[in-house]
Every structure is written in structure tokens, then in C-alpha cells.
Structure 1
Amino acid sequence: MKMDFPLRKIIHVDMDAFYASVEQMDNPGLKEKPVAVGGSEKRGVVAAASYEARKYGIRSAISGALAKKLCPDLIFVKPRFDRYKEISLKIRAIFYEYTDLVEPLSLDEAYLDVTTNKKGNPSASQIAEEIRDRIFKEVGLTASAGISINKFIAKVASDYNKPNGQKTVNPEEVLPFLENLDIRKFYGVGKVTAEKMYQLGIFTGKDLKGKSTEFLTEHFGKSGAYYYQVVRGIHTSEVKPNRIPKSIGAERTFDENLSSEIFMLKKLENIAFELEKRLKKSTIAGKTVTLKIKYSDFSQQTRSKTLPYFIAEKSLILETAKELLYQEKMGNSVRLLGISLSNLNTDKKAASGKKTISIQLKLDF
């Protein structure tokens, strides 16, 4: 059996409840207790939850008020991003001892291409186990990992035996694995898309595989072609060590809801200033300004404008954000404002021109 696309040895490492685990490690009094990082029982949103908190249904992105309602004994901890970054860099240092092909997705997860690695170890599964063991011994935290022939399957597999576990999907197991997978487990299929798939009779990978490209494109647009490919184990995206951002932004959640545009303007000025600092630090500019508004009822709206030239200066960002703010009347008081810049000057990338290769499915994983 052959697969006519690049076959690699990819590991996806995902730290277990990273922010909450760091807080529990640094403060032994929080161990084995339900912990939420970020938010509070009055304001804000949960950024991360410990596994003890997750048993109550607490997840990232839910309000602090709802989290407290679900778990009255929940302990809220303020996020310490400098500390999380410090720990993340220690973990990445371990990755780089095995390969230079490391693509961080965030502070707590990354892809590693170990097809050819610094240890000369042909087994990606053994490398993943060794990395997880070292993270535990040298940093004090647990990690989970997924190992397979491409990034998509490795990402899905890393969630399979969480926490503190790993899952290898060997080349010959790829198609049966995907066919038996619940559609909700497919990376890139969110809650809304899953519901739509259910209505179309798509519940598993096998159901998805039974649909034509035309059918999937008709119902899911450009994503349809993506779904058609990945359910067949085709995902040719390489591990990119220097991952280029699609957008850069900054946002703020307020202690009290804002009901007047006049008060919002001052907040937008501060956000635009923070965004300018980030853009200058990365030497990036963009053409599309997006204003994000989250209302007191947690509904969310975005308004965008694309300019004919690249910008990175606070004054120009703020001018466009103001225009978007006054574009239409507010329907409710506002709890969060954000500004992001996309259509960046980093988007122009030369085509890699890499040849598609055909490899027998007999790699040692």
C-alpha cells in the first residue's frame, strides 16, 4: 500500500492544563484543588482550568460567574504570563535537543518533525516518550503527545490519552483510525460545524469519507476540500520553525461595562498603543483593521476595514478603529474591546516547490 504524499514522523506535544498546572506546581496549596486561571466570580473569562475544575464542566472561555456557579469551591488565580513563558522556553529547549524543526502553536503546545533527528533515533514514539519524561523530571509538569505521519493526525492523537499519555497512529493505522473517529474530534471541526455535519448525517470519519468533494464544498465552502483531504490522511503542511502570524492584536476586558462611546475611545487609545508596541517589536505592518466588541450579554461582533496601504502606527490604527466604532450604534453596554491587524506584510511567501513523494507504509514509528 502506498500514499502519494509526503510521509513524515511528526510529534505534537501538548502540555496538560498548562497555566493551571504551573500555578499548582508553584503553590502546593493548590494541588488537587479546582483552579481557574483568569477571570473572577464577578468579571472576566476563564483562561485555563485544572483537571479538578474540568470535572465540573469548567473550560476556557466561559465566564468567571458561570464557573463559580458550576463549582462553588473554585479557586481563581490571576494569570502570570511571564512565568508561563519562562517555563515554556525551558520546555522548548528540550525540544531543540532532538530537532530544529519545532513549530510552537502557543506557550503550551508545539509540533516537532523528527523524521531526521539529532539523536539518530528512528522511533518517533520513543522520542516522544523521552521528551515527556524529561519535561516531568526537569520542569515538574506532565505533557501528552500524538505521533503520526502528519500534523493533523498527530494533533488529533495528542488528545487521545490525555492527561499524561501519548498515542501513536502508525502509517497502516491512519485510515481505520480516521474512519472510526467521532467527527467532533477532527481538528478544525468546531461546535457549529459539528452540528451542521450531524444534520447532514455525518457523525464519524467514515461518514465524512463517504461524501464527495462537491458535496462538502457546497455545504462548507473552502473548508470542504480540507475535510475531504484530511479524512483520507492527506495533510501536507510542513512543520514551520518560524511560524508567520496571520494577525496581531490586543484586547481588554473592563472592570465595569462601558455604555458610552466617549469612554470607549480612551480604552481604544490604550489598546492601539499596546498593538503598536507589538507591531514594532515584530517589525510587522498590516492593511486590515478589525475592531472586536463583546457586549454585556456575551454576544460578540467584529467590524473590519481594509486600507490601500500598510500601517503600524498608533494614530492610523486608532483613526480606523474609531471609524469602525461609530459605524453603527451600540446595541448594549460593552465588556471587552479589541483591535487586531491582519493582511500583514508577512503574507507574501514564496512557494516551496517541494515535490510530492511516494513512500511505502513501512516506517518504524
Structure 2
Amino acid sequence: MTALPKLSPPVEPARLWPENAAFMARTDLERLRLLGVGPANLDSITLHLLGVLGTRPTVRHRSGVTDEILTFLQDAGLMIAEDIRIYDSAEEAEAIADSLAAEGRPLFWPYPLRRGRFHESAHLVRTGLWGRLNSKAGLAGIAPARALAPRRIVPTATLGARLDHPVVVKAGGEEATGWGGTVRFCDTLERLLEVKAEFLSREISTCVVEQELPVERCWCANLAISEAGVVYLGAAEQMFSAPGCQSGSIIDPNTPLPPEGVDLAIEIGEAARAMGFIGVAGLDIGRIADGRLIVFDPNFRFNACTQQILLHHAATKRAGLTVSRSVVADVPLSVRSLIKRLQSAVEDGWFVPTRIVDRSILSNEKGKSILNGFVLGADRLDAEKNARLLDLLIS
């Protein structure tokens, strides 16, 4: 494939995380128990953010950084200049992290590393602070009251006494959550009791119960937080398949996060900065029917839409298009076959791949792959059409 012009993020990698920091995301299932993931996810999580981390060291599983995959992603325009440290086992990943920490490189990650394995001084963000900032119950400590839905924090065991209106129930502790894994919409008392039983079985002892609000649009606003201040990176509008169940993200210049939403995100980012947080964060902010902006969830880590946000401007400018729409798919094709089928879409400019994982290496599933990226379009309908076209190409 002919190499395409490079996709340069609008923010230098050093503005996202400190220059001396190293990306190490390999954790264990105990840390991710509320996300509902399996063993293969522990390694696939390490393969995000290719093309936006500059030259810093990264610890990545072999399944997503083979020569074949890296060549294709670079030809597609990703600027991959990292010092990639490849591992095959969890022990190898942690040994590499040990050496990076010994060099004085703080480790950053989306979810805390194995409990007790590394000294707290090895982390860019202390695990206790990470837990407090990402706790849905703790949101009121960093977000202004005007921007919160009516909510109460209760022991899970007390749920179900009555239900006067639809609510959204969320895990309220400091364990890692995400992907809607512990967010449940309840519009009947029977449903609320089902969620109570489920959460108790998963040892979720505290819940946030929020009044369901008429949300017109919801965005994930991304920030880069450093000792020098807070930089707004952009926002992706969230797409939902059901209440509280996100199915993807879209960036459309005709439906941006309103300026007051940007100000709100920065205000919360400043509160987190004052507590000592450094790195990239995302905040789920919705506009409800009366025009108010409400913060629903804190995500003090990189988000599923972070790479899309950082590459959107360069990709749309390169293609002469305006809208981007995320893609994530389990593909019944080998990496070689997948790349072959993607070449025309990439060369024509309407698809940008951001992650390809060889399942035969990741989990011994031969002839299968994982694909992340985003399609582009002249408008939302055109992007949706291209998403369907891509689905046909890789099916």
C-alpha cells in the first residue's frame, strides 16, 4: 500500500503526559473485575493509543505490534515512533515496567496495575487518587452542584424499597469501571430489585442512584491535565444502543459540545489538577431538554474516543471530509486478509485504522482479528453509510 500523509495530533505528546512517563497498561483480572472482561482483554488493553504517544517507552503485547500490523498502520498515516517494549507474558510486562521505573520513568495506565506489585512512587498518578477521582460517588467532590443530576448514594442492600421515577443505578466504589459495565437503567421496581441482586452478587456494596433525565445529546469531553494547567482536547458525541449503553462515538462539527460544556469540563479538570492528577481524562457531559449541562461520569484515564479526538482534525483535513464515526469489531479474518480488505478504504481516505490485534497471538483464535478505527464522511449520514460499507468489507 502506498503510504499516506501523516496524521499529526494537534497537541504534542508531551502535553498529554510528562515526557519521561512510560505507558504500561498490563494489569490483572482482580483489578478489572467490574468491567466484565476476560484474560485476553488484559493484553489487548495495552495496544491502544498508537500514533499519539510520541517517542516515549510503551509496554505492548506482541499481538498488536507485529511488523505487518505496524507497517500497515504507519502507511495509513499513524505516526508511530515509540520505544516499544514487546512482551508475551504478564511476568515479562511487569519486568519491563520494573526496569522503566528503575530509570525514573513514572508509569501511566488506564486502570490500576496489579495490587501491591509496584511501589506507589512508580506511578504517575497514585492509585488512591485515581480511585477517588474515578468513583462515581465522589463526583460531587470535583463537579459543581449545578451540573449534577439529582442523586443519592446508598448501600446496595437498601435498594428496592420504592421507585417513584426511573433511575440510573451505578457502582459507587473506587474500583475500576467502564464501558457501561456497572450502569443500569431501572424504570420498574422489579428491574431495580434485579439490579440490587446482581450488584450484591458482584460485591458492589455502594451505589449511586441518579434520577433519569431527558438527555438530548451526550459528549465525552477530553482534557490534558498537567502541573501547568488544563488543556481541552475536544469532545466526541456518544452513541447509545440503550440507556446507559454506549455503542460508539461520533465527531460532527455541526453538533459540538457547547462552550459552556467546555468551561465546565475545564473547571472539573482544574479541581482534579489541584488534587494532584496528571494525564488525560474524559468527562461524560449531557445536555438535557431544558438546556442544562449535566456531568454523568468521571473518567480520569484515556477514553475509547481519545485517539479519535486526537486524530480527527488531521484525518478529516486529509480526506476533505468533516465527520468521523468510531469503529470497533471482532473480525472473522486473519490479520493478513483483514489488511488486504482494508487497503482500498484506507487509500481512499474514508477509513483510519487505529488498532489491529492478531487473535491467533492474543488468544490462539486462528483466523480472527480485532479492529479499531474510525470512518469519515461528508456528514453524519455519509459516515453511517461508510460504517455499513466497512462492515461489509470485513465480514
* TM-score bracket for the superposition, by shorter chain length: under 0.3
Q: With the length of structure 1 as denominator, give the TM-score of the two structures.
A: 0.27
Q: With the length of structure 2 as denominator, give the TM-score of the two structures.
A: 0.26
Task: Tell which structure's C-alpha radius of gyration is larger.
Answer: 1
* Larger strand fraction of residues: 2
